Structures are given as structure tokens and as C-alpha cells.
């Protein structure tokens, strides 16, 4: 397998704990928008937030 493909393999695991209200909100959102793959949804939401913050914090000249 190519090195780039090896680097993209998901082999690192993290756990997240939610309170009842947060979990209910996530379940409601997933049901409303027909999201079946919650891992993908949460991964994309987290990475999008991180990349936006990196972009906002990028130094500018003016």
C-alpha cells in the first residue's frame, strides 16, 4: 500500500462523553437530516471546526 494511503488509515481511537441533553440533540439532528453514519458526521464536524479555527488564527499583515 502507498505511504499516503497508509497515513490516511483510521487506526487511532478517541472517546467522547455526552450528557443526556447533548445526546438527545445529536440523535434528533441525525434523525431529521437522515444521517446514518454518526462517526463520519462527528469526525467531519470536529475537523471542520478545527480547520476554521486554524484559518481564523492565521496571521495576516493587516
Q: Three-state SS across 7-41?
A: HCCCCCCCCCCCCHHHHHHHHHHHHHCCCCCHHHH
Mean pLDDT of 39-62: 91
* pLDDT band with cut points at 50, 70 and 90 for residue 62: low
Q: Using alpha carbons only, how large is the chain's radius of gyration in Å?
A: 16
Strands (E), 1-62: none
Cβ contacts of 61 within 8 Å, gap of 6 or more: none
Cβ contacts of 35 within 8 Å, gap of 6 or more: 29, 41
- Where do the domains of the chain lie? 19-62
pLDDT digits 0-9 by tens, 19-44: 999 999 999 999 999 999 999 999 99
Amino acid at each position: 500500500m502507498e505511504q499516503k494511503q497508509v497515513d490516511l488509515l483510521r487506526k487511532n481511537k478517541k472517546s467522547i462523553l455526552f450528557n443526556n441533553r447533548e445526546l438527545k440533540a445529536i440523535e434528533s439532528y441525525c434523525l431529521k437530516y437522515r444521517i446514518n453514519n454518526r462517526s463520519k458526521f462527528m469526525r467531519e464536524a470536529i475537523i471542520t471546526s478545527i480547520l476554521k479555527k486554524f484559518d481564523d488564527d492565521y496571521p495576516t499583515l493587516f
